[in-house]
A and B are shown apart, each in its own frame.
Chain A
Amino acid sequence: MTISKKIIGLLILLLGLSFLGIALGSVLVPFEEQFDLIFNLRTSRTVTAIIAGAGISVAGLLMQTLFRNPLAGPSVLGISSGSTLGVALGIFAINLFGISSFDQKMSISILAILGAMAVTFLLLFVSKFLKKSNTLLIVGLMVGYFVSSVVNVFSFYGDKTNLQSFVYWGFGSFSKEINFEVLWYYFTPILVLIFLIFLIQKQLNLLLMGEKYAVSMGLDYKKTRLLIILIVGLLVGIITALCGPIAFLGIATPHLARNFIKKSDHRFVIPFTLLMGACLGLICDIISRLPGLDGSLPLNAVTSFIGAPIVVWIIFKNKMA
């Protein structure tokens, strides 16, 4: 199958899944009553699944290229945990100020972004002292544990309502926000960041060769690394603020994309990662609210259920075991 046929195939799949996403729900609603539901809840949810799925996947791709490690990804490296810490701060601390709901959402989002950026910069700093990139994954895991312990302390002292909303946030969902007017505050920066990624595809390809070769072929390594970290930190922060932590999609999708097209060239891998990420986002969303289920399953449970086996498959395939 040629690349263009594969792209068309994925676009058709994406369209089909989108239709399914809008049509399906765990609550059966008579058609005449569906209109409002479709255009408020399900459409916003479907669009969020597409954009967040694509965004978190391409963020994972950038991490894997930068760290030259197939197991790098926002959740493994603790970047999502950084966002979680930001949100915990927001929910447990900012709630006390009694500000309006919109301002509260935006403040929490900014804290989530700052949390993600803080961890990414920390990883960058630590990576300078580490020779093996695998060690960095362990450091990332430790950052995750460390952040969890801080969050646990917050939860322990936080009041019951805040705790409940924080735990609920942690389940992850593509329908935390259903108002398109608010959603565009999230979508616009995500789309701009994705556009920026297309502009640095040459640098990303050079990074595949490793830092030394890349620099010898004219790459400004420090500038590129900073740019990638800023893009990843912002993407993961914004998406986590909008949907909660989404596990495994960031690691798994770039591998599926590379294996599907048998290429690592970012000119192809970026669009395929975006498309497959969008499809996977929709699939996870559809599974989480299959008809017959009482309400929706936590999104995070579904992405882990699908993503974790893929990561294990990667480890075996790359003979890393």
Chain B
Amino acid sequence: MMEQKVTLSFHDLEIGYKDQPLSRPINLSLQEGELVALMGLNGVGKTTLFKTILKEQSALDGEIKFRGSSLELNDLQHSVGIVYTERTHIFGFTVRDMIAMGRMPHTNRFGKLSKRDISIVDSYVRELGLEEIEHKQIDNLSDGQFQKVMIARVLVQETPVILLDEPTAFLDMKNKVMIYKLLKKIAKEQKKTILVSTHQIDFCADYCDKALLFKDKALIEKSAQELSSTDFD
């Protein structure tokens, strides 16, 4: 079996707010090629963990490492990408414009796309089957199509780690399946570490490699199939 490399690791990480710590020290690591579900009831700290990884808020204690070195804010755009639940409305942005935004961390001061940038955008447009809607305005997309576009955007950013904050919250069953299949394929084929916060135990069992469960202020690792609804009591 091929050796897997650790991308993101938490070392005695404590998250939350000064007067309200949300976790005991977390010691876990995520590997490349893994699709990992982040689960737990509302308010237990899933979003706070994301915010802490993205440096939107500082850790109470401990450290987050990326490939063994401390994760710094000015390297974030090259190491961790994110897709949020909410839709972003931008007038006059086509699907292609939105996907190309993912290349911004790689462009010059004026944001001009190089030939390489354009070919990367092209390849992900094809990869995710977005050719037909490439020139459609993003405000005219269905929720499922929009999430797919945002996933294409984060892939184009070429970060080894991708976070998705409840990416299927507003989607119907067909689109949920489509998104999870896509994530699994990307994780395997492109050796990405994908951490998805979700409430969907069934999808977790079907598609994820493992689950991180927030319970009683602890973040514990479980096999995806091991989870049951009693974990959320």
* Structural contact, B101 and A264, CB atoms closer than 8 A: no
Q: A264-B90, A265-B97 are in contact. Are A216 and B82 (CB under 8 A)?
A: yes
Encode B101-114 as 1/0 by CB contact (under 8 A) with A. 11011010111000
Q: Contact partner of A209 among B77, B88, B105, CB < 8 A? A: B88
Encode B77-93 as 1/0 by CB contact (under 8 A) with A. 11011101000101111
A201-B109 Cα distance, complex, nearest whole Å: 8
Q: Contact partner of A217 among B88, B97, B157, CB < 8 A? A: B157
Residue of A210, A217, A261 most packed against chain B (CB within 10 A): A217
User: Does A305 reach chain B (CB closer than 8 Å)?
Assistant: no
Q: A216-B81, A216-B82, A218-B76 are in contact. Are A209 and B90 (CB under 8 A)?
A: yes
- Number of residue pairs A-B, CB distance < 8 angstroms: 64
Encode A238-275 as 1/0 by CB contact (under 8 A) with B. 00000000000000000000100111110100000000
User: Does A6 reach chain B (CB closer than 8 Å)?
Assistant: no
Q: A201-B110, A201-B111, A202-B109 are in contact. Are A216 and B92 (CB under 8 A)?
A: no
Interface of A is mostly: helix
User: Does B216 reach chain A (CB closer than 8 Å)?
Assistant: no
- Least CB distance from A224 to B in Å reads 13
- Least CB distance from B149 to A in Å reads 12
A261-B157 Cα distance, complex, nearest whole Å: 27
By a beta-carbon cutoff of 8 Å, the part of chain A in contact with chain B is: 199, 201-202, 205-206, 208-210, 212-213, 215-218, 258, 261-265, 267
Q: Give 6 A-B contacts (CB < 8 Å), ordered by A residue.
A: A208-B90, A212-B82, A216-B77, A216-B80, A263-B97, A265-B92
14 further A-B pairs in the complex, CB-CB below 8 A; given A212-B54, A212-B84:
A199-B110, A202-B107, A202-B109, A202-B111, A206-B101, A210-B88, A212-B82, A213-B82, A215-B56, A215-B76, A217-B102, A217-B157, A218-B105, A263-B93
